[in-house]
Chains A and B, each alone.
Chain A
Amino acid sequence: GENVEQHPSTLSVQEGDSAVIKCTYSDSASNYFPWYKQELGKRPQLIIDIRSNVGEKKDQRIAVTLNKTAKHFSLHITETQPEDSAVYFCAATPMGGYSTLTFGKGTMLLVSP
C-alpha cells in the first residue's frame, strides 16, 4: 500500500519568514495530494490540494508543488503569521475519485512573533 513520509516533524520560524514542508510517497499510482491544517483541539481542515496533472498550485500565501518523477510534493507558506501555527498533514491517494487517504505523520509549525 501507499506510504507517505513527511519532514520535518517540527518547524520553528519567525513571523514573516517562509516555511516549507516536504512529503514523499511510494505508490506511483497516487494522483491526489491534499494538505490539512489542524489547530490544537480542532478538526483537520483542507487548505490546499494538487492533482497529478498539475505541477504547482497557489492560493494566496500557500502553494503546493508536485514532482511526480521523484514522487515528492511540498507545501510552501510565505509571509508566515502566528495564526499559521498548527500541525500540518500531507496525504496521498491512488484513487482519483473516492479518496482513501494515507497521511504523513505531521509537521508542527510554530511561528513566533
Chain B
Amino acid sequence: SAVISQKPSRDICQRGTSLTIQCQVDSQVTMMFWYRQQPGQSLTLIATANQGSEATYESGFVIDKFPISRPNLTFSTLTVSNMSPEDSSIYLCSVDKPGQGAYEQYFGPGTRLTVT
C-alpha cells in the first residue's frame, strides 16, 4: 500500500479566494490523481498528475480553476481558484502503487473544503 498525507485536513474559505491542497506520499510514484467527492456522492476524477508533464484534466475541469503542480515523485498540489460555494467538497489525492500483477490505487485522507 502507501502512506499518503494531505494538508490541510479541512478549511473554511471565503468565496473568491483560492486554496492550495498538498498531497505527500511516502515513496516515489509515477501517477498521482486528484478527485472531488461532494457530500453523499461518488468520487469524480479531476485530473491526473504525472511528474515532469502537464496534468491531464477530465471533462468539466479546467486548469485555470484547478491548477496542479507535480514537482517531484512524492508530492503534488491542487489549487482551487476563485472559489464559490459550489466548490464545497472533499478533495482527495490518490496514487498508483504496484500490486499483485498490476497497479492498485490508494487514497489520501482528503481535504474537506467549505466555501462561504
Q: List A24-54 residues whose CB lies under 8 Å from chain B.
A: 32, 34, 36, 42-46, 49, 51
CB of A73 within 8 A of chain B? no
In the assembled complex, which residues on chain A have CB atoms less than 8 Å from the CB atom of B101? Answer: 51
Determine if B42 and A106 form an interchain contact, defined as CB atoms under 8 angstroms apart.
Answer: yes
Determine if B30 and A46 form an interchain contact, defined as CB atoms under 8 angstroms apart.
Answer: no
A98 vs B31: C-alpha distance when bound (angstroms):
7
Q: What interface size band does chain A fall in?
A: 20 to 34
In the assembled complex, which residues on chain A have CB atoms less than 8 Å from the CB atom of B27? Answer: none
| Closest Cβ neighbor of B99 among chain A residues | A49
In this complex, which of B92, B99, B108 has the most chain A Cβ atoms within 10 angstroms of its Cβ?
A: B99
- A49-B104, A100-B45 provided; 20 other pairs, C-beta below 8 A? A34-B104, A34-B105, A42-B109, A43-B92, A43-B108, A44-B107, A45-B107, A46-B1, A46-B105, A51-B102, A97-B102, A98-B30, A98-B31, A99-B96, A99-B102, A100-B48, A101-B43, A103-B43, A105-B41, A106-B41
* The 7 residue pairs across chains A and B that have the minimum distance between CB atoms: A43-B107, A98-B31, A103-B42, A103-B43, A105-B42, A44-B107, A43-B109
- Write the residues of chain B forming the contact surface with A, with a CB cutoff of 8 angstroms: 1, 30-31, 33, 41-45, 48, 92, 96, 99, 101-110
